[in-house]
């Protein structure tokens, strides 16, 4: 059973999450609430949640700083981020700190439940292709490459050479290390990162396919659509409408 902590400064939204979701049906229990990052850190110490659902922009301490402190302390708690549509770039910082999912406000009926179910499934099975947030390595070149890719996947010019330059080693050496440490080729990881983010974007029907393609670094929508279908089994429009 997942123990859930809800962190949101707007009380109506926070109470709505706590009271409107059938947590028992998800094999979850809400163990606490907090209205900012400082309160959340105290609650984590007392309650040891396994899942935090948190807003990003909050008074006193925002969600990014809260998550940064949790990771510095070695806390591996799952985190779902809630963010406004116009704060997508800000949310990328949370993903680099190990958030496993995010929802765009206002999220639709069933979206939060689906995100929680995905996390529960992650706890039961090994990492699947595309779950790039699970990648970890003690090799500084590999971690540097992962950080660079996660920060720059929206750049159409991102490729193996750019990543290798960012960590100051040769393309061949980095490609060998990356494959050995993660099981991914560099190109495969870049694609997985982009497709994972595109899936997040397309879950919100306000996002057009062309906009999702551009945000994840594709100038050619047809090529984006073809890559997306190979990765997910559905075209972007089919995925969005499902």
Cα distance between residue 148 and residue 162, in whole Å: 9
- Could you tell me the pTM of the whole model? 0.54
Using a pLDDT cut of 90, give the percent of the chain over it.
Answer: 36
Cα distance between residue 227 and residue 212, in whole Å: 13
124-150 pLDDT, tens per residue? 533 353 444 455 567 889 888 888 887
How many C-beta neighbours within 10 Å does residue 45 have? 10
Nearest to 50 by CA among 19, 20, 28, 34: 28
Start-to-end CA span in the chain (Å): 28
Nearest to 155 by CA among 216, 210, 94, 96: 216
How many C-beta neighbours within 10 Å does residue 89 have? 10
pLDDT at 35: 95
The b/e string for 52-80 (b: 16+ C-beta within 10 A; e otherwise) is bbbbbebeebbbbebbbbbbeeebebbbb
Beta strands, E only, the chain = 2-7, 28-34, 51-55, 78-84, 101-105
Tell me the two tokens of residue 222.
């047809």
Residue recorded with tokens 């939060």: 112
pLDDT at 68: 85
Whole-number average pLDDT of the chain: 84
Q: Is the pLDDT of residue 94 over 80?
A: no
Cα distance between residue 65 and residue 41, in whole Å: 10
167-226 pLDDT, tens per residue? 999 999 999 998 887 777 899 889 888 888 888 888 877 889 999 999 999 999 999 999
Cα distance between residue 130 and residue 108, in whole Å: 24
8-34 pLDDT, tens per residue? 999 999 999 999 899 988 989 999 999
């Amino acid at each position: 059973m997942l123990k859930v902590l809800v962190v949101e400064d707007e009380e109506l939204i926070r109470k709505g999450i706590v009271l409107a979701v059938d947590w028992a049906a998800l094999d979850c229990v809400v163990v606490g609430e907090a209205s900012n990052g400082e309160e959340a850190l105290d609650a984590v110490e007392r309650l040891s949640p396994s899942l935090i659902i948190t807003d990003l922009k909050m008074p006193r301490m925002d969600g990014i700083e809260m998550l940064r402190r949790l990771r510095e302390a070695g806390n591996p708690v799952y985190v779902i981020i809630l963010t406004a549509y116009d704060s997508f770039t800000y949310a990328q910082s949370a993903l680099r700190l190990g958030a496993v999912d995010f929802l765009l406000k206002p999220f639709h009926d069933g979206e939060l439940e689906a995100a929680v179910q995905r996390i529960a499934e992650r706890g039961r099975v090994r990492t699947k292709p595309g779950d790039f947030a699970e990648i970890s390595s003690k090799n500084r070149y590999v971690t540097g490459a992962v950080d660079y890719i996660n920060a720059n996947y929206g750049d159409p010019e991102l490729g193996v050479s750019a990543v290798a330059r960012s960590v100051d080693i040769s393309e061949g050496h980095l490609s060998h290390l990356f494959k050995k440490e993660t099981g991914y080729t560099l190109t495969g990881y870049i694609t997985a990162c982009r497709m994972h983010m595109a899936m997040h974007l397309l879950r919100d029907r306000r996002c057009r396919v062309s906009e999702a393609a551009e945000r994840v670094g594709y100038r050619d929508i047809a090529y984006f659509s073809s890559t997306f279908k190979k990765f997910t089994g559905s075209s972007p429009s089919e995925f969005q409408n499902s």
